[in-house]
Structure 1
């Protein structure tokens, strides 16, 4: 009985919030596959590692937060599909082995905060209403922590958990960050497929191979995305956002058109990929944690880093096909 009691107490201690203190680069880089991850609302070292490796492989889990949520599961399934593995469940040992094999670099590395990271300017507060954004000179980050978290595709919560007691507004401070690689990754894009039901975007090579995946927010019931095949007509970094009163967005009372200046917290984020249906595009977002979990105004919304990768590689004329899963009982 004493042995069982001690075992129970040990288990309770391991599952307690105090364990968060042990979350560091070593615990993540040395993490091994476990058949059962922590609860969805808990940061798990193995899930952090898997998310970073997925990001490096161009199968984005969205925001790297260390939790086995919907977007991480979507990315794991897409990676398994691309590698010809079974994906009856999202996280398997076979998928883990392929990830580690494909990306041998450490998942977490040290980073020295630079002067440009803390220079700003930063917004004191991001306005909640679009009309209040039009007077701002730029839709900048609200803090160095937000900027650094986005630079390394991380949630601010995970960045803070990895760096307890660290100050993100101090140049030369060394912190632990996700090893997401460089921005100059090349994708030989043949076509793009956007699944309106599953809220995903897949990139295929001209050979037909699935080479990249991104979770996405795809329209809404009120303002659905188009159907069929469109084409890319433009790709622009740091776009202005132009509001047209004909859009009649909820919460926007202006009867006149207005423009919101560029910045990562602009309503369309830091990149715009225009499509051949007027007013529709693929763009970024100021809220990466909400990708595929909230509705859009008809466009396709990705994290700023994902749409940046796509925008730097896409070409005019690239076909973009919108597909929709058949209803239950329908033909496939």
Structure 2
């Protein structure tokens, strides 16, 4: 089936959709002009607001990832905001206030939105008509591709695909030449990361440069009580882009019916997403995920899951031997 609505995000997502659906066009709150001009007075403590949307884009651009941009002040947004506040020597409450909004606005002089023209390459595929739920069924596919241009573009611009649609009413994403409004999320950092801290209680991954400076932070899904994330300190063992996942029966996943090993093909909708950062802890790693909207709210099978775009950004900054510390 197509990418499912993440269960943990249902209330916020429905509220977001309801508010956006009620917005008048073209002068409603989702016009590019309104979003660019959003001020702290436009913020809402719950539900969707253009101020939170603007803040999320600025956080993402600064390397403090809020996960999938959705305009809702959820857990991932609050965690990213607290880290930005700490770096800016503000009260790290994780709550958007006037001083924090001003500091975010001052962090970049570029617009928060951009216009993008859909290309033939964006629409060429090949795409998967649907992605099976069961791992054994995934193993029958030659590639775990995107389900269509909308999903591809949503990941490229770090945005919840539902919000991408609402930002571009009436636009067909499978037509080359169509122009769409997207978050401007080009990150400036290309720092070398020598230490990673996975904060298990906070469900965040922090990346530090050789001087000990925090250069990037990403929301993360970690293991459950049944399949816990390891403890202790390890190192990056290898980095594999476009990984093929090998299921071993000793993993004993409850949802897998077979007792035989099998492979799941590569692709953005693979269980490993677009990249695998293997650790010296056997069978454990940091990797992407096919459902970025669930990152930070769902459990993993023990590995550390990031959005595909955050995993790719991290992979570009680390190397074999980078220290990875799991913080209890």
Task: Please report the TM-score for the alignment, with normalisation by the length of structure 1.
Answer: 0.89
Q: Distance in 1 between matches of 2:224 and 2:291?
A: 17
Q: For residue 197 of structure 2, what is the aligned residue in structure 1?
A: 193
CA 1:255–1:312 in 2, change beyond 3 Å: closer, same or farther? same
How do residues 25-174 of structure 1 correspond to structure 2 at under 5 angstroms?
25-34=32-41, 36-37=43-44, 39-40=46-47, 42=48, 44-174=49-179
Q: For residue 10 of structure 1, what is the aligned residue in structure 2?
A: none
- Aligned-pair distance for 1:17? 4.4
Q: Distance in 1 between matches of 2:212 and 2:45?
A: 36
Larger Rg: 1
Counterpart check, 1:295 vs 2:299: yes
- Decide whether the 8 Å contact of 1:82 with 1:211 is kept in 2: no
- Aligned-pair distance for 1:36? 4.5
- Once the two structures are superposed, residues 221-265 of structure 1 have per-residue CA deviations (whole angstroms, 9 ceiling, x without a partner) of 101111111100111111111111100101101111111111000
Q: For residue 278 of structure 1, what is the aligned residue in structure 2?
A: 282
Equivalent residues, number: 307
Q: Distance in 1 between matches of 2:104 and 2:303?
A: 31
- Aligned-pair distance for 1:129? 0.3
Q: Distance in 1 between matches of 2:189 and 2:309?
A: 12
- Aligned-pair distance for 1:19? 1.8
- Once the two structures are superposed, residues 72-117 of structure 1 have per-residue CA deviations (whole angstroms, 9 ceiling, x without a partner) of 1111011111222111342122221221111211111100001111
- Decide whether the 8 Å contact of 1:35 with 1:93 is kept in 2: no
Of stretches 245-254 and 299-308 in structure 1, the one that deviates more from structure 2 is 245-254
How large is the RMSD of aligned CA atoms in angstroms? Answer: 1.5
- Decide whether the 8 Å contact of 2:78 with 2:95 is kept in 1: yes
- After TM superposition, the runs of 4+ consecutive aligned structure 1 residues lying more than 3 A away are none
Q: For residue 254 of structure 1, what is the aligned residue in structure 2?
A: 258
Q: Distance in 2 between matches of 1:20 and 1:318?
A: 50
- The unaligned stretches of length 5 or more in structure 2 are 1-18
Task: Please report the TM-score for the alignment, with normalisation by the length of structure 2.
Answer: 0.90
- The unaligned stretches of length 5 or more in structure 1 are 1-14, 325-332
Q: Distance in 1 between matches of 2:308 and 2:94?
A: 28
